[in-house]
Amino acid sequence: MKFFVDTANLEQIEKAQSLGILDGVTTNPSLMAKEGVKGKEQIFNHYLAICKLVDGPVSAEVFSNDYDGMIEEGETLHALCPEKITIKLPCTENGIKAVKYFASKGYATNCTLVFTLGQALLAAKAGATFVSPFIGRIDDIGGDGIDLIRSIVNMYRTYGFKTQVLAASIRHTNHIVRCLEVGADVATCPLNAIVGLLKHPLTESGLATFNKAAEQMK
């Protein structure tokens, strides 16, 4: 399973990259706004800065809801860094049409805000590179986000779709572990959820014991 970090914060991206396990980055308008970037120039420069830091796909989301706006923005985003930018489009009628358009040009796309198997089917049929089901937001309303990941993975395997299942809206370390169990291709996570995978009290107490023994042998 690949690891993307779900943030537009350059320090966090750098930290994730320095761990040596980072495969890509996802952003969205809320995450970009959090970084205080405003206006086209700052936004584009921010994406360029992210692309410089990471050796893998960088999802950049369109702000438009209409088809023509999505196409114009997607083309501009793609041109920023064609080998890394993945155009992120919402799973709406216009979004699906835009995914199809960009897929036919060979551009990478990420179909986002996916909450049902049916939406995931349309994203795959349109040729999306990635589909982003939002686990945490499904859990928030009493559903089972991991169950949706499992169903999409099974559906794509059964019908031979190439679209990668990118589990999004991951809130904690256990979500990552559960994504592994159900076969997600990618998990996009906050950095602290990734670092949380390292935490175990027996690792900590075992290390303390080994450190003591190492001291005695000095």
Residues forming contacts to ligand G3P in the complex (CB under 6 A) are 6, 26, 28, 31, 134, 136-137, 168-169, 171, 188
Q: Minimum distance between the CB of residue 57 and ligand G3P, rounded to whole angstroms?
A: 13
In terms of DSSP H, where are the helices of the chain?
Answer: 10-19, 29-34, 39-53, 67-80, 93-104, 117-126, 135-140, 145-159, 173-182, 191-195, 201-216
Residue 56 Cβ vs ligand G3P, minimum distance, rounded to whole Å: 16
The residue (of 105 and 143) whose beta carbon lies closer to ligand G3P is 143
Closer residue to ligand G3P in complex, CB, 2/137:
137
Q: How far is the CB of 33 from ligand G3P (least distance, A)?
A: 12
Residue with tokens 């169990």: 181
Catalytic residues: 88
CB 152 within 8 A of CB 118: no
Output 2 or 171, the one with its CB closest to ligand G3P: 171
Identify the sign of the CA torsion 72, 75, 80, 84: positive
Residue with tokens 């950049």: 60
> How big is the CA angle at 123 (ends 121 and 125), to the nearest 5 degrees?
65
